[in-house]
């Protein structure tokens, strides 16, 4: 009964390939996020979805495309993988709605370590 789950935990692939990372939350939250944590442990938000609608889209290459089939899922698809995409990707969720309270706690998945060779 994991709150926020991600698959796979590890992903090793060749440059140029296309891959997806899946995220699911069973907390009933309205908002989901994708973060990238680089080798220096710096954590940066990539996307935020509220009720299947894109809210935050930070400056990331358009090779990265989030997809939210329903509010419990937010998948991350990456096209034409590059060496610099190697990182740990975290999914997170929070209860907040757009017009709701400020700064709801975010609950994180276990992370997906992506290694591009």
Residues that bind another protein (CB under 8 A): 31, 33, 40-45, 48, 50, 55-56, 88, 90, 92, 94, 96, 98, 100, 102-108, 110-111, 113
- Cβ-based nearer residue to another protein, 62 or 99: 99
- Cβ-based nearer residue to another protein, 64 or 90: 90
Which residues have a Cβ under 8 Å from the Cβ of 44 and sit 6 or more positions away? 35, 36, 37, 38, 58
- Cβ-based nearer residue to another protein, 31 or 68: 31
93/31 Cα distance (integer angstroms): 5
Q: How far is the CB of 16 from another protein (least distance, A)?
A: 27
Q: Which of 41, 42, 28 is nearest to 104 (CA)?
A: 28
Q: How far is the CB of 41 from another protein (least distance, A)?
A: 5
Residues 32, 76 contacting (CB under 8 angstroms): no
Q: Which of 49, 102, 105 is nearest to 76 (CA)?
A: 49
- Cβ-based nearer residue to another protein, 54 or 117: 54
Q: How far is the CB of 111 from another protein (least distance, A)?
A: 5
């Amino acid at each position: 009964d994991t709150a926020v789950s991600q698959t796979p935990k590890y992903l090793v692939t060749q440059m140029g390939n296309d891959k997806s990372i899946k995220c699911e939350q069973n907390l009933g939250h309205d908002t989901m996020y994708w973060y990238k944590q680089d080798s220096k442990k710096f954590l940066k938000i990539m996307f935020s979805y509220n009720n299947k609608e894109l809210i935050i889209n930070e400056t990331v290459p358009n090779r990265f495309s989030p997809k939210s089939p329903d509010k419990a899922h937010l998948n991350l698809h990456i096209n034409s993988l590059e060496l610099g995409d190697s990182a740990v990707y975290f999914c997170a969720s929070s209860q907040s709605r757009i017009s709701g309270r400020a700064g709801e706690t975010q609950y994180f998945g276990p992370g997906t370590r992506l290694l591009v060779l």
